[in-house]
Amino acid sequence: MKQMNQVTKYQNKKVLVMGFGISGINAAHLLVKLGAKVVANDQKTPKDPAVVKDLEQDGIKVITGSNPVSLADDGFDYLVKNPGIPYGVPLVAAFVKKGIPIITEAELGYEIFPGHLISVTGSNGKTTTTTLIQRMCAEGLPHESKYAGNIGVSFSKVAATMSADDTLVTELSSFQLLGAPEIHPHIAVITNIFSNHLDYHKTRENYINAKLNITRNQTKDDYLIMNWDRDEWQQIAKRTNATVIPFSRQDRSEKGAYEKDGNIYWQGEKIMAASDIRLIGPQNVENALAAIAAAKLSGVDNQAIVKVLTTFGGVRHRLQYVMEYKGRRFYNDSKSTDIEATEVALQGFDAPVILLAGGLDRGYTFERLVPYFKKHVKALIVFGQCKDKMKDAGKQAGLSTIIESENAITAVPEAWKLSEPGDVILLSPANASWDQFPSFEVRGDKFIAAVEKLTGQKEQK
């Protein structure tokens, strides 16, 4: 029987929901069901009037066009904000000053979910790892398994459809975790921690602390699955009360999931050859190891794990194989919005790579990519605000072919002209998309459309 947890803390409470994204709209409707008096606010006025009408029909007061700071004086008991809205925004800052609790929709999803919760965070690999775990659970467990969260599906909406026997695998960003003080997954996964989103978090320590909120409420009866391949990450793992389960591609621990001599193991038991994982690249071996640990702790058998890892071809925009055409292979890695992600993407290829890179200028340079350019890149096509900095890295690597293009779409026919049979044409920008596209998803979709136009073929699904 589908029965969400009965939550009473919001009954007759006045709640402001800030932001009309998928999570905000679902949070507003859920809060009404939980007995709250809800006001929904967005800085922009939705282009589709049906959005406002839908909220108002549920008894929700709607304020659009600005974020009036005066709302902080209207007696609200809670603020539920879109995760991406910074805490320095005047209206949010006013709630902070008053000491009014600020949460995200992820907290609501956790509160109503009655079943087995697995949560995944990290700088890179979150979505692939989340998807792998969910597929393994769906293949190997008798009850329903779904995913939600930062993966693009509302946590609270999915949670409301599940029972106490079901498994929900949630991808959680640092932004969501800042507003999820009570969240308590039985199994938490941290894929890795680099230095992302410092424009939001200000310091690396703040960013790490936000990530560690995933394990804040765990006890020794819970599990934290942690990447063991850097000493710093091992030190970070000491900051949990949970039972730590390591995973290692460098055979640095055999207490969890690890790769050794080309094979994948779980606590000494061989699962499969690493080369049989369909996803390419060393980063996907790490993602597979993290997923294996979560699946085994959840009771999934080896047969189900192997089936998923040998058949799953990748998440859209995450080193996604698009197609092969006249001996050239096209890959969409638009989700690579930082240097680390592009580093690991390049390491996945032995064939010569024509790399399409560039995007939003966040103030850093790309010297770190130089050794990867030297080893893997045949030609570099740059675009966006940081194209000159990317070009400088290409020059340092001694690349003989570096050209500018307007964007990731116009770069496709340019890459084709430079390519030969056996080459890989890879979009892995190492930068956010916001200088030219509203999201990395849009950038990746348009790249795929450009490849389809060039080849006259549809992407391979």
* Binding-site annotation: residue ranges: 122-128
Long-range contacts of the stretch 397-405 (C-beta < 8 A, 24+): 397/369, 397/370, 397/371, 397/373, 398/374, 399/373, 403/379, 405/356, 405/381
Alpha helices in 66-203 (DSSP H): 90-98, 105-112, 126-140, 155-159, 174-178, 198-201
Contact 194, 99 (CB under 8 A): no
Q: How far apart are CA 102 and CA 27, in angstroms?
A: 13
Question: What gap in Å lies between CA 40 and CA 269, rounded to an integer?
Answer: 52
CA dist 189 and 121 (Å) reads: 6
To 10 degrees, what angle do helices 126-140 and 282-297 make?
40
d(CA 17, CA 41): 6
Binding residue ranges for ATP: 122-128
Nearest to 152 by CA among 126, 180, 191: 126
- CA–CA gap between residue 36 and residue 454 (Å, rounded): 53
- Hey, is 86 helix, strand or coil? coil
Q: Is the dihedral of CA 148, 152, 155, 156 positive or negative?
A: negative
Residues 67 and 361: their CA atoms lie apart, in Å, by: 28
